[in-house]
Structure formats: structure tokens, C-alpha cells
Amino acid sequence: MAELIQTDRAVPPPSWPMFRALVGIGMLCGLLIVSVYVLTGPVIARNEARALEEAVFRVLPGATSSHTFVLTDDGRFRSAEAGTPTDSAGAEEGTPTYSGMETEAGTPTDSGTPGREIKAGTPTDRMVHAGYDDNGSLVGIAIQAQGMGYQDVIRVLYGYDPTRETIIGMQVLASKETPGLGDKIEKDTAFLANFEALDVGLTPDGRSLQHEIVAVKGGEKSQPWQIDGITGATISSKAIAAMLRESSAQWVPAIHRQQAIFTRLEVTDDRQ
């Protein structure tokens, strides 16, 4: 690109045309980006919500509607969606009422699309999604987990059934594992079958899991809390086991303790 080399350096160029060009074009470009952002924003948000909901329904077989809950700083779950019918009876003594919480958090009450508005600024790692079947009874709770894989962070969504105390489904949301090897964690039917009934039963005191989730060599699974690894994708399989182990140890006791919030809501919730 010989054209790029400037030869006329002797005379200092006038600065006004340069200033005008840079500022003018900068403003034009800024305006363009802002208008496209405003136009596409709602569509993108809808796409993301739909993608998440589809994933929730996939890890909770039989679920046809979902509802998002947030774990607050005091370790309690509450509904994260605006337009939720209030339920003043707490699951445990001292549980703040939904209405009180909503007001505190400043939920916009004039929201145009009730029931689908997730509060801005809620970190996704504190959200869980309860799935309900056609009759409105709880199928399970979808939880996001993430951990380091072979290439990059893997993000998964798994479904937990509190009544059976098992994991009933798992789906990889994002991974950059090696095509053909590590990415089998997304498609391999034998591997995914591990998560149709993976035991996460709690100890009698309800504080921790009876057995930690562990990955074993392919074909050596003998206990319901073990995951049959994929031959040729050992690191990726172990990564999934590790993130489920960590995540379930954190979430399962908490959800189990407050199970009533999830099942109670569907009684009062008049979702369309």
C-alpha cells in the first residue's frame, strides 16, 4: 500500500477541516449506532429470553411455562418477574412478602409486558427458573452453572427436581470445546443420558449432598450420582461433573429448604 505514505509533510495542514471531518463523522457514526441499538434492543432481548426459555423447557422435560426466581443477599428466593401475583405467606417464618420486596427494588409497575420483565441489573448467576407443566405443577428448577473446560469457560443449564432430589436434564449453553471431541458433551446421547436421573439426594439434616457428583471412566458408572465420562473428552466430561458438583452443593440445599416458594407460586400465579 504505497498510497498510504504521506510525502507532503513540509506545510502544516490546516486543522479546521480535520477537526470538522473527525467530529462530524464521529457524531454521524454515534447517531447511527445509537439508533440501531435502540431499534434492535427489544428484538435481541426477546431472542435471548426465548433461547433461555427453550433451554429451560429442554432440561425440565414436560414443562410448558417458566418463572424466574432470584436468590437475594439474605439467602432467600423471590420472584424476579414483574406482574407476579403477590403471595404474602412466606415459605418460612420471616420471609419478606413479594409485594414488599417488589416495592423495595423499585419494579416499574407500568411495565408494558407483564410477566416477562426481568429486573435490569440482576446477575444471571443468582437466577433460577422454575418450570411448570400444563396443570401448573412444578416440574423442576433450571439452574445455570459454569466452569473451566478444556478451551474456555463452559456454561450449562441443568434441571433439578426437588421432589425426586435428582437432576433431570442438562444442556450446554456455551462452550468452545474441540469440535469432534470435547463438543460431544453437547450432543452425545449416551453422555446426556447421565443427566436424566442423576442423584443429588441430601443428607438427613439437609445441609449438604449425600454423595458428590463425580465423573468416572466411560462405561464404569455404577452409582446414580456418577457420570459416565466420554472417551476422548475426559477433560470436558470432568469439567461438567465439577461444575455440577459445585453448583448443586450450593443450590440444592437452598432450594430444598425453600421448596414451598416454588410450588406455592403456581397456585396463586395466574399465568395466562
**Rounded-to-integer distance, Cα 49 and Cα 66, Å:** 11
Binding test (CB under 8 A) with another protein, winner from 10, 11, 47, 116:
47
**Rounded-to-integer distance, Cα 73 and Cα 65, Å:** 27
Distance of closest approach, residue 59 Cβ to another protein, in angstroms: 18
Residue type (1 letter), 163:
T
**Rounded-to-integer distance, Cα 183 and Cα 232, Å:** 10
Binding test (CB under 8 A) with another protein, winner from 5, 10, 17, 112:
17
Residue span binding another protein (CB under 8 A) among the ranges 29-37, 60-68, 211-219, 234-242? 29-37
Give Cα 245 to chain centroid, integer Å. 17
- Cβ–Cβ < 8 Å for 130, 251: no
Residue span binding another protein (CB under 8 A) among the ranges 114-122, 123-131, 173-181, 197-205? 173-181
Distance of closest approach, residue 272 Cβ to another protein, in angstroms: 25
Pull the grid cell for residue 262.
416454588
**Rounded-to-integer distance, Cα 96 and Cα 234, Å:** 45
The answer to whether residue 174 forms part of the interface with another protein (CB under 8 A) is yes
Distance of closest approach, residue 28 Cβ to another protein, in angstroms: 8
Residue span binding another protein (CB under 8 A) among the ranges 43-51, 73-81, 133-141, 256-264? 43-51
DSSP 54: H
The answer to whether residue 5 forms part of the interface with another protein (CB under 8 A) is no
Which run of H or of E encompasses 215?
Answer: strand 214-216
Distance of closest approach, residue 89 Cβ to another protein, in angstroms: 39
Residue span binding another protein (CB under 8 A) among the ranges 74-82, 161-169, 170-178, 206-214? 170-178
Pull the grid cell for residue 220.
464404569
Beta pairing partners, 186: none
Residue span binding another protein (CB under 8 A) among the ranges 107-115, 179-187, 189-197, 253-261? 179-187
Binding test (CB under 8 A) with another protein, winner from 94, 123, 180, 204:
180
**Rounded-to-integer distance, Cα 19 and Cα 144, Å:** 49
The answer to whether residue 234 forms part of the interface with another protein (CB under 8 A) is no
**CB-nearer residue toward another protein: 114 or 232:** 232
